[in-house]
Amino acid sequence: MRRRGFSMVEVVVVTVMLAVLAAVLLPRAGGREARAERAVVEGVRLLLDAAGQRRVLSGQPVALEYETRADGGILAVSSWRKPVRSWDPPWSRDPLIAPVNLESLTLTNAQEDGRRLEGAAWRVDLSRSGMTGTRPGLRLILASARSGQRWSVSLEPNAISATCREWGDAEPDPMGDSRAVDLDRTGRREQPW
């Protein structure tokens, strides 16, 4: 006698095997984007580390550059070199420090000594003295459109090592709003805000 179809035991065994396989593989696939985002943030932190260390240890003028592109932004370190020919640019990408492509992250806020950096492209000269008389401090806010996660990457004026802090949507922005208004100073102490 020829059997047609599958027995109930075979169907249950295959279903259980597929469920176990899905339970193992789905979390790994879902976490891949989060790991890639954290790797980009770590790359930005290491880039700021390298720029800060390069400036302090070599004395060579360096700058941090940002440029918006179709595939996301790119952060790079540039070095100043005396131009050989009159048309040579004095700033060029540092060949020893790899640029970071922000890919899936967005640079939502960038500040130099508390001053917001605007535009699709900017350069911060780390060799000049900032408002404090030392190298300017940098603070970058990176955000993920996919998860809503945000990161603050900072290079303080006297530090050669950058710091990174992660926070979610419910927490306030650690940089605050650079356009904040002091209600007491403006004479609106008693007005609700």
* CATH code of the domain in which 151 resides: 3.55.40.10
- Is the pTM for the entire model greater than 0.85? no
Judge whether 42 lies within some domain.
Answer: yes
Structural domain count, the chain: 1
Q: pLDDT at position 176, please? A: 47
Judge whether 58 lies within some domain.
Answer: yes
Sequence-distant contacts of 114-121: CB under 8 A, at least 24 apart: 114/178, 115/178, 116/178, 117/66, 120/67, 120/68, 121/65, 121/66, 121/67, 121/68
114: domain range? 34-167
Judge whether 193 lies within some domain.
Answer: no
Please write the tens of the pLDDT for every residue from 96-148.
Answer: 889 999 988 999 999 998 899 988 899 998 877 655 557 888 999 999 888 88
Q: pLDDT at position 187, please? A: 59
